[in-house]
Chains A and B, each alone.
Chain A
Amino acid sequence: MSQFKELTLQGLWKNNPGLVQLLGLCPLLAVTATVTNALGLGAATLLVLLGSNIAVSLVRNHVASEIRIPVFVLIIASLVTAVQLLMNAYTYDLYLSLGIFIPLIVTNCAIIGRAEAFASKNPVLPSAIDAIMMGLGFMLVLLVLGAMREVLGQGTLFDGADLLLGDWAKALRIEVFHADSHFLLAMLPPGAFLGMGLLIALKNVIDNKLKQRQAVEKGSIARARVTGAAQ
Chain B
Amino acid sequence: MSFKIASSPHQHNQRSTAHIMRLVALACLPGIAVQAVLFGYGVLVQLVLAIVTAWVSEALVLKLRGKAVLPRLKDNSALLTAVLLAIAIPPYAPWWIIVIGTAFAIIMVKQLYGGLGNNLFNPAMAAYVLLLVSFPLQMTQWLPPLSLQSVDLTPLDAVCSIFTHYSCSGFSLSQLQANIDGITMATPLDTLRTDLGRGLTLDESLNRPVFFTFAGTGWLWVNLAYLAGGLLLIQQKVISWRIPLAVIGSLFVLSAIATLAAPDTVAGPLFHLFSGGTMLAAFFIATDPVSASTTNKGRLVYGALIGLLVFLIRNFGGYPDAYAFAVLLANMAVPLIDYYTRPRTYGHRPRSELK
| A residues in contact (CB < 8 Å) with B | 181, 183-186, 188, 190, 194
Asked if B134 and A183 make an inter-chain contact with CB atoms under 8 angstroms apart, the answer reads yes
B 126-146 binary contact with A (CB < 8 Å = 1; else 0): 000010011111100000000
Asked if A185 and B134 make an inter-chain contact with CB atoms under 8 angstroms apart, the answer reads yes
B-side interface size class: under 10
Partner of B133, one of A181, A188, A194: A188
Asked if A185 and B133 make an inter-chain contact with CB atoms under 8 angstroms apart, the answer reads yes
- 16 A-B contacts (beta carbon < 8 Å): A181-B135, A181-B137, A181-B138, A183-B134, A183-B135, A184-B133, A184-B134, A184-B135, A184-B136, A185-B130, A185-B133, A185-B134, A186-B134, A188-B133, A190-B133, A194-B108
Q: How far is the CB of A188 from chain B (nearest CB, A)?
A: 7
B 183-203 binary contact with A (CB < 8 Å = 1; else 0): 000000000000000000000
Residue among B133, B134, B135 facing the most chain A CB atoms (10 A cut-off): B134
Q: How far is the CB of B50 from chain A (nearest CB, A)?
A: 19
Q: Which residue on chain A has the smallest CB distance to residue B130?
A: A185
Q: Which residue on chain A has the smallest CB distance to residue B137?
A: A181
Q: From DSSP, what is the main secondary structure of chain B's interface residues?
A: helix
A-B contact count (CB 8 A): 16
Give chain B interface residues in 107-121, CB to chain A under 8 Å. 108
Q: From DSSP, what is the main secondary structure of chain A's interface residues?
A: helix
> Which B residues touch A186, using CB under 8 A?
134
Query: A188 CA to B133 CA in the complex, in Å?
Result: 9
Q: Which residue on chain A has the smallest CB distance to residue B131?
A: A185
Q: How far is the CB of B33 from chain A (nearest CB, A)?
A: 31
Q: Which residue on chain B has the smallest CB distance to residue A184?
A: B134
Give chain B interface residues in 236-273, CB to chain A under 8 Å. none
> Which A residues touch B133, using CB under 8 A?
184-185, 188, 190
Query: A183 CA to B108 CA in the complex, in Å?
Result: 16
Q: How far is the CB of B337 from chain A (nearest CB, A)?
A: 24
Query: A194 CA to B134 CA in the complex, in Å?
Result: 14
Q: How far is the CB of A209 from chain B (nearest CB, A)?
A: 14
Q: How far is the CB of A180 from chain B (nearest CB, A)?
A: 9
Query: A190 CA to B138 CA in the complex, in Å?
Result: 20
Query: A73 CA to B220 CA in the complex, in Å?
Result: 63
Query: A86 CA to B319 CA in the complex, in Å?
Result: 43
> Which B residues touch A194, using CB under 8 A?
108
Query: A224 CA to B323 CA in the complex, in Å?
Result: 47
Q: How far is the CB of A179 from chain B (nearest CB, A)?
A: 10
Query: A183 CA to B134 CA in the complex, in Å?
Result: 5
Q: How far is the CB of B314 from chain A (nearest CB, A)?
A: 23
Q: Which residue on chain B has the smallest CB distance to residue A180?
A: B165
> Which A residues touch B135, using CB under 8 A?
181, 183-184
Query: A190 CA to B104 CA in the complex, in Å?
Result: 13
Query: A188 CA to B129 CA in the complex, in Å?
Result: 13
> Which B residues touch A188, using CB under 8 A?
133
Q: How far is the CB of B103 from chain A (nearest CB, A)?
A: 13
Query: A181 CA to B130 CA in the complex, in Å?
Result: 14
Query: A121 CA to B342 CA in the complex, in Å?
Result: 53
Query: A186 CA to B135 CA in the complex, in Å?
Result: 11
Residue among A181, A186, A188 facing the most chain B CB atoms (10 A cut-off): A181
> Which B residues touch A185, using CB under 8 A?
130, 133-134
Query: A190 CA to B137 CA in the complex, in Å?
Result: 19
Query: A190 CA to B136 CA in the complex, in Å?
Result: 16
Q: How far is the CB of A159 from chain B (nearest CB, A)?
A: 19
Q: How far is the CB of B193 from chain A (nearest CB, A)?
A: 21
> Which A residues touch B138, using CB under 8 A?
181
Query: A183 CA to B137 CA in the complex, in Å?
Result: 11
Query: A181 CA to B94 CA in the complex, in Å?
Result: 11
B 79-120 binary contact with A (CB < 8 Å = 1; else 0): 000000000000000000000000000001000000000000
The 10 closest A-B pairs by CB, nearest first: A185-B134, A184-B134, A183-B134, A185-B133, A185-B130, A181-B135, A184-B133, A181-B137, A181-B138, A188-B133
Query: A194 CA to B127 CA in the complex, in Å?
Result: 14
Q: How far is the CB of A196 from chain B (nearest CB, A)?
A: 13
Q: Which residue on chain A has the smallest CB distance to residue B100?
A: A183
